[in-house]
Amino acid sequence: MKYFLVAGEPSGDLHGASLMEELKKLDPEATFNFFGGDLMRTAAAVKPVKHVKELAYMGFWKVLKNLPSILKSLRLCKESILEFQPDAVILIDYPGFNLKIAKFVRKNTNNIPVHYYISPSVWAWKSYRVKRIKRDVTQMLTIIPFEKEFYASHNFDVQYVGNPAIDFVDSQLDKTEETNYFKKKYFLNEKPIIALLPGSRKQEISSCLPKMIAAAKKYPDYQIVISGVNSVHTAFYHEYMNGHNHPIIKHHPYQLLFHADLAIVNSGTATLETALIGTPQIVVYHVMLGRLAYLAKKIFIKTKNISLVNILAEKEIVKELYAHLFTTKNLTREIERILFDEKYRKQMILSYKELRDKLGKPGTSRRAAEIIYEYSKLS
């Protein structure tokens, strides 16, 4: 069968690639066309119609500035679906773009099923999108346990398939690696590690990294190690190191987190991965107009928390510093607490274990692929 996938961000590229691999096991004749990145390209053995590097715009002004390019990408996606005539369209997160594609497929094709993998956060904000999802999406496959109950309250049956972060961590983390070996491999000194994960976009790195470093360097008995991404040149990180030369590790974020005593993590999927690895963390998130944005969040966003860890746990496990709360002073205070308050540290790690149990077993991509494949066979 033929599958058309749409992923607009690096995280979607990762999820899409895993889903493709599982679909190939179920359907040896599977062929793919897609919007995605290098990982999906490897899995499909074909080039993407559009690369995620040309799609991942963050923030209102970035989107507005690049609106002509986004509209052009939408047209290209629609044309590609009509030309490819897939047996299934699979949309991965990226709701501003993908909900438009779902509507287009419903209105302009002969009942091609639309499978939406990883639901938009409609339980947090923009709940009006539920009506559009019910109308345009054939199947919703969710990765957050409480989403099934949320959608049920809107008379829409969805399927919880597990959380892919469990699979990624379990398959990629080497728990047998010794810390001394890791440090020698990356030419680190013998001090314990404070890991900094400033994000995958340049905008996030430039906003978060200086504050992270300013707070972490107040603890000279620890070494700062930065988790970098391949899509951002090493020289860019150095621009925001306040004149210091901290090591950057680009290829093994899970191993870095595993060997770190503490991680400061930009809000996103990495916060959940950090929790699953078991590393105490502080979650940060930079927004412009800090205090105003904080108040706007209180008014318009329905969830109490911003980090995946706390949202999934439905309680505060880790400290969240965002908007005007994301300061060097507040970061320093929380670093102190995690490093030197043993009771606080142990409680965080215990809560991590409870969260993992709540998320269920590994095999998320396999379960999602089975649902999509079986539905497509019957269509």
pLDDT band at 298; cut points 50, 70, 90: very low
Whether the pLDDT of residue 328 is over 70: the answer is: yes
DSSP label at residue 325: G
Q: What is the pLDDT of residue 377?
A: 82
Q: Are 282 and 319 in contact (CB under 8 A)?
A: yes
The CATH H-level (homologous superfamily) assignment of domain 169-359 is: Glycogen Phosphorylase B; (3.40.50.2000)
Using the predicted structure, report yes or no on whether residue 57 has a pLDDT greater than 60.
no
Q: What is the DSSP string of 266-295?
A: ESSHHHHHHHHHT--EEEEE--SSHHHHHH
Give the confidence band of 231 by pLDDT, cuts at 50, 70, 90. confident
For the chain, the distance separating the N- and C-terminal CA atoms, rounded to the nearest angstrom, is 11
- Which DSSP letter does residue 52 get? G
* Higher per-residue confidence, 70 vs 178: 178
Reference 36, options 71, 67, 80; nearest CA is 80
**Residue 59 pLDDT > 60, yes or no?**
no
Residue 113: is its pLDDT beyond 60?
yes
pLDDT higher than threshold 60 for residue 142: yes
Q: What is the mean pLDDT of residues 83-88?
A: 97
CATH number of the 2-162+363-378 domain: 3.40.50.2000
Burial class (CB in 10 A: 0-12, 13-18, 19+), 242: exposed
pLDDT the model gives residue 243: 84
What is the pTM for the complete model shown?
A: 0.83
Q: What is the mean pLDDT of residues 244-271?
A: 94
Question: Is there a contact between 55 and 25 (Cβ–Cβ < 8 Å)?
Answer: no
Q: How many CA atoms lie within 13 A of 56 on its CB side?
A: 19
The phi, psi pair for 280, rounded to 5°, reads: -55, 140
- Please give the backbone phi and psi of residue 262, each rounded to the nearest 5 degrees, phi first: -160, 145
The band of 65, judged by pLDDT with boundaries at 50, 70 and 90, is: low
The three-state DSSP-derived secondary structure of 300-361 is HCCCCCCCHHHHHHCCCCCEEEEHHHCCHHHHHHHHHHHHHCHHHHHHHHHHHHHHHHHHCC
Confidence label for 300 from pLDDT (cuts 50, 70 and 90): very low
Domain chopping of the chain, boundaries: 2-162+363-378, 169-359
Burial of 45 (0-12, 13-18, 19+ CB in 10 A): exposed
**Does residue 304 have a pLDDT over 80?**
no
Residue 295 above 70 pLDDT?
A: no
Alpha carbon separation from 6 to 41, 74, 152, 245 (Å, rounded): 12, 11, 26, 38
How many CB atoms lie under 10 A from the CB of residue 353? 12
DSSP states of 192-242: -EEEEE--SSHHHHHHHHHHHHHHHTT-TTSEEEEE--TTS-HHHHHTTST
Task: Check pLDDT > 50 for residue 341.
Answer: yes
What pLDDT is stored for residue 230 in this prediction? 83
